[in-house]
Structure 1
């Protein structure tokens, strides 16, 4: 996994071809001119084509130019998702969310739990085994230190791993990512319970504010916890061909 930082662009790059934004994504871009936007987009596309991967690109209020989405579509990107940036003052967290009987949340502290964490993410996104194995190598390389700015949480229902979430700490804010629930455990309030547990840990660590990017189907979960919508984001995807799930 590489984080590539340039003057006008930052992106995350891996060798994993599976089309998911956690593997290859450009979350930040601020181009100084149309010519710069064109040159950077062409360069990134060529790199993605050479590696045989897929690229996701997030466009929102902190990216420029304002019509960056138009530039991406002109270069063959397709809009695949519309999300909402949400924030919360953790002191106003609504903690009355019901927790299913037999459900517990653990911070991931060992390789056994890390394997289960990755397996849940893989099942949630229908990743093939090879992708899950590659993802585990990446996650293992990031370590399990309790003081790391990246903390993972695993939800267990009657002892079985069924849900995940991740906290990233930076710039005085806790960011919530990787909220996932396996299909057979959906509809029981588990995503809400996972987010609540992570936010309580963030508060214990001294953080007062948290952020996340919500899909349309996830917004109601976060509103019930006290999150407020702040900005809209469009996610675009470029791929050279169809990914083989076999």
Structure 2
């Protein structure tokens, strides 16, 4: 993989050319910033910027004013190769709170190891309705220890309005949901994104996450997507590397309250 070329393609298609990922959301391009605006239950934030030392502070202030006028908290999704090099420090100085850094990993689907199946006793259930979404939300809350109301809203909206753009699956041990993950397909681009992948404590370390990645990758391949993208935690990065994903950059959320 040509890392420089693929990263440039990712920036162009998935960031500068971002598409709304929620039926109620919109993409706004203002100056050298691309942002997504949704409801309080959706994701709000800056996905791309092309700034320099002379323009960064004014652009940051403009985004704060814009989202606060709407009464919305928002995220500035900062990548390790974004400019200026001190953009993260400028965001913190403006009142943003950084969250843990993740690794932007991309794999060319045809080159990935896709033979992993679910471990013995685990079955995968496609999510197509509200009952399935409830299972995903239940796993998310238990695996990550966070509220899952936003995820539930987003999944229900996507399944209702554009079901071909989302693939979600729950791993069950008998009738107990123990892991869940989703894949977002971006039409008109060669990219699909892997999200979620949370496993409830007690079922970790059994290969469920690896099998869920392989399951979604096979679906992406069947649907003609060339690349898979993941924002990988420190725990998932080694698994993804063994499957053939490569690190191209880092990404860190900076959060600003309403």
Q: How would you bin the TM-score normalised by the shorter chain?
A: 0.7 to 0.9
State the distance in 2 between where 1:160 and 1:219 align: 27
Shift of 1:220: 0.8
Superposition pairs for residues 194-205 of structure 1, below 5 Å? Answer: 194-205=212-223
**Unpaired stretches in structure 1, ≥5 consecutive residues:** 241-246
Q: Judge which range, 89-98 or 154-163, deviates more.
A: 89-98
Query: Does the alignment pair 1:162 with 2:178?
Result: yes
State the distance in 2 between where 1:154 and 1:111 align: 13
Shift of 1:49: 4.8
State the distance in 1 between where 2:213 and 2:57 align: 39
RMSD of equivalent CA atoms: 2.7
State the distance in 1 between where 2:74 and 2:212 align: 28
Question: Which residue is 2:209 aligned to?
Answer: 191
Shift of 1:61: 5.1
SS of match in other structure, 1:44: helix
Shift of 1:45: 2.6
SS of match in other structure, 1:39: helix
**1:85 alignment partner, one of 90, 104, 122:** 104
State the distance in 2 between where 1:135 and 1:173 align: 21
CA deviation digits over 1:109-133, x for unaligned, max 9?
Answer: 12211221122223323234xx52x
Superposition pairs for residues 1-246 of structure 1, below 5 Å? Answer: 1-7=24-30, 8-16=32-40, 23-31=43-51, 33-34=52-53, 36-49=55-68, 54-60=73-79, 63-97=82-116, 99-128=118-147, 132=149, 134-143=150-159, 148-170=164-186, 171-239=189-257
> Residue 117 of structure 2 contacts residue 214 of structure 2 at CA under 8 Å; is this kept in 1?
no
> Residue 118 of structure 2 contacts residue 208 of structure 2 at CA under 8 Å; is this kept in 1?
yes
Shift of 1:4: 3.7
SS of match in other structure, 1:183: coil
State the distance in 1 between where 2:26 and 2:143 align: 25
